[in-house]
Amino acid sequence: MKFLTSLVFALMFMIGSALAQDAAKTTKPTLILVVGANGAPQYEPMFAEWADRWLAAANQAGFHCVVVGRDKEIPTQTDKQRLRAIVDEAAGVKGVELWLVMIGHGTYDRREARFNLRGPDLSAVELASWLKPVDRPMAIINCASASAPFVPLLSGPKRVVIAATKSGAEQNFARFGDYMSQAIGDASADLDKDEQTSLWEAFLRASRRTAEFYTTDGRLQTEHALLDDSGDGLGVRADQFRGLTPIEQTTDGKPLDGQSAHQWHLIRNATDAALPSDVLKKRDALEVAILQLRSKKKSMDRTAYFQELERLLVELAELNAMGTADQR
């Protein structure tokens, strides 16, 4: 009888743990970290180090982390099958941020770009198809060479897409992933001094450090990272900005990419961490509205411009004060 009682309690504990894990998956933001095929022995420790930095930052932020490509034992599924299953599972969650980081090598044959996995490779077309039913904010960071063709296929609403190269023709080993993994959890990359490093700030830091590497080493730069968060599938480079400010506006008068990515943070500051998700979304919308208003300043009546700016700033200040009050 005691054995049966113990068995019942053990089963209840296992069921409770499984339910708790499922609940965590639906409430926590998720990081899917994909480590591709090394290709050559010298790349294995590099990719491992980059992956460890992402995991350290995500764990510090309380993310639910899933890793593909680092199994010590031979898996029963290929990495491609495993990733497909993870993405399908992620599609069942709504509203919570999903980060997909891809570390490794890529190829492009002038028709199709691929990310090199152990076993069958993953094409940009396939990944776009897998992610189509996923209805949640997504940041997709492809740190591989020849990764630019992924951008137009993955671009869309509520998405930030980053590629290590500006075209599929940039097929040499990409170092951008190294600097990106350093920047995402680095407080010194915080350009606007709000005590947190945004995905946009990390992209700018990583891009500029990549360029510095080639200049210092006396090499021709063979990679130029792109970021798209406007949904147009085109993307921008860091050299189109001075600090956080675009050097010039687009020809249609719309601001360049970067606004949405600047609201993505792997590790949030204390104020933002204290804000409820609905308040954060409203705050983010206000910040975008202010930036869009400023881009229209020259075409607006001066009085109307400042009246609208004051209204938005007051509302933004009230939301920020709410977060500060919650911390006291």
Answer yes or no: is 9 within a domain: no
Q: Looking at the structure, tell me whether residues 104 and 202 fall in a common domain.
A: yes
Q: Say if residue 184 is in the same domain as residue 146.
A: yes
Q: Does 19 fall in a domain?
A: no
Instruction: Find the range with the poorest average confidence among 83-87, 238-242, 254-258.
Output: 254-258
84 and 125 fall within a common domain? yes
User: Is the per-residue pLDDT at 105 higher than 80?
Assistant: yes
148 with 288, same domain: the answer is no
| Whether 243 and 296 share a structural domain | no
Let me know if residue 11 belongs to a domain.
Answer: no
* Highest averaged pLDDT of the listed ranges 19-33, 193-207, 288-302, 304-318: 193-207
Q: Is residue 257 very low, low, confident or very high in pLDDT (cuts 50, 70, 90)? A: confident
Tell me whether residue 5 is in a domain: no
Is 10 inside a domain boundary? no
For the sheet containing 122-123, what is the strand order? 106-108, 113-115, 122-123
Based on the domain organization, do 170 and 229 belong to the same domain?
yes
Contact between 136 and 97 under an 8 Å Cβ cutoff? The reply is yes
Answer whether 315's CB lies under 8 Å from 286's CB: yes
Residue after which a domain boundary falls, among 222, 252, 268: 268
pLDDT tens readout for residues 37-59: 999 999 999 999 999 999 999 99
- pLDDT in the model for residue 325: 57
End residue of a domain, out of 221, 253, 268? 268
Q: Is the pLDDT of residue 120 over 80?
A: yes
Lowest-confidence range among 22-31, 54-63, 180-189? 22-31
Last residue of a domain, one of 237, 268, 299: 268
pLDDT, greater one: 247 or 229: 229
What pLDDT is recorded for position 133? 96
- On whether both 243 and 294 belong to a single domain, the answer is no
**Do 130 and 67 sit in the same domain of this protein?**
yes
Residues 239 and 292 in one domain: no
Q: Any bridge partners for residue 123, and if so which? A: 114
Among 88-92, 142-146, 237-241, 245-249, name the one with the lowest average pLDDT. 245-249
Residue 41: alpha-carbon gap to chain centroid:
28
288: left (phi over 0), alpha (psi -120 to 50) or beta: alpha
More confident residue, 242 or 52: 52
Domain ranges, residue 293: 270-328
Residues 54 and 113 in one domain: yes
pLDDT tier at 6, thresholds 50, 70, 90 = very low
Q: Is residue 225 part of a domain?
A: yes
Residues 231, 293: one domain?
Answer: no
User: In whole numbers, what is the pLDDT of the chain averaged over residues?
Assistant: 87
Region class of 110: left (phi > 0), else alpha (psi between -120 and 50), else beta: left
Of 248 and 273, the structure prediction assigns the larger pLDDT to 273
Residue 101 belongs to a domain: yes
Decide if 72 is inside a domain. yes
What's the half-sphere exposure (Cβ side, CA atoms, 13 Å) at 11?
6
pLDDT at 156 over 60: yes
Percent of the chain exceeding pLDDT 70 equals 87
Total tally of structural domains belonging to the chain: 2
Say which CATH number the domain at 131 has: 3.40.50.1460
Are residues 234 and 297 located together in one domain of the fold? no
| pLDDT(149) > 80 | yes
pLDDT of 19 > 70? The answer is no
Assess whether pLDDT exceeds 80 at residue 8: no
3-state secondary structure of 226: strand
